Amino acid sequence: MTFVVGVTGGIASGKTTVANLFQQEFGIEIVDADVVARQVVEPNSVGLKSIEGYFGHSVIQPDGTLDRAKLREIIFSQPEHKAWLNNLLHPMIRQRMLDELGEVKSEYALLVIPLMVENNLQSLADKVLVVDVDEQTQIQRTVERDAVDATQVKAILSSQATREQRLAIADYVIKNDTENQKLLPQITELHKKFLEISRENR
């Protein structure tokens, strides 16, 4: 089995930036929970067909893709359906992530799961790497990236796990408050460690 480093962090903490550096610099392959979550509901998938069967045709857009806004609306007004949806999707997402990890050819794999703490998914990883930033930085980067205002970002922050909850499951931490140049030395250092551990465990 490939050695799996789970990567998590709050909104705009830099998970994607960090994972991409491991990939670009060292060829480490990435399995991304957000990507997998979209794949399990792509047109003609079992996931999308089940959702259509349960919620009706109104959640399908003319081009055959899932109408996420519509689905969010339904779940917001009828939260009892959220459990059904999670029970459908979570096992599919989990299985697909495991399948993809099984295909990885690099010496270890990165498994990026934004809501790792919230969904209690740390057991999928051998080690957990938390990308940590202060809230002010998260707010500033999200406002710049997503054209939302600080109030909206604060609402998202309060719906996510706290910094402390994430750090409590961390084996390794990347501090990403500073400029981008400070990232690569931290990543190079961690890469060496991950290689050592994956070789020891082989």
Residues 6+ apart with CB under 8 A from 124: 4, 6, 94, 97, 98, 111, 113
Chain Cα centroid distance, residue 129 = 12
Site for ligand ATP in 66-105 (CB under 6 A): none
198 among the known binding-site residues? no
For the CB of residue 44, give the shortest distance to ligand ATP in the complex, in Å: 27
Phi and psi of 50, rounded to 5°?
Answer: -65, -40
Indicate the DSSP class of residue 161: P
Question: What is the rounded distance in angstroms from the CA atom of residue 201 to the CA atom of residue 189?
Answer: 19
Residue window 107-136: x/- pattern of binding to ligand ATP, with contact defined by CB under 6 A = -------x----------------------
Task: Decide: helix, strand or coil at residue 109.
Answer: strand
Q: Single out the residue of 4, 5, 11, 36 in contact with ligand ATP (rule: CB under 6 A).
A: 11
Task: Decide: helix, strand or coil at residue 114.
Answer: coil
12 binds ligand ATP (CB under 6 A): yes
Residues 6+ apart with CB under 8 A from 184: 21, 25
Q: Single out the residue of 141, 163, 166, 191 in contact with ligand ATP (rule: CB under 6 A).
A: 141
- Which of residues 69 and 147 has its CB atom nearest to ligand ATP in the complex? 147
For the CB of residue 16, give the shortest distance to ligand ATP in the complex, in Å: 3
13 among the known binding-site residues? yes
Annotated binding site for ATP: 12-17
Q: Which residues make up the interface to ligand ATP (CB under 6 A)?
A: 9, 11-17, 114, 141, 145, 176, 179-180, 183
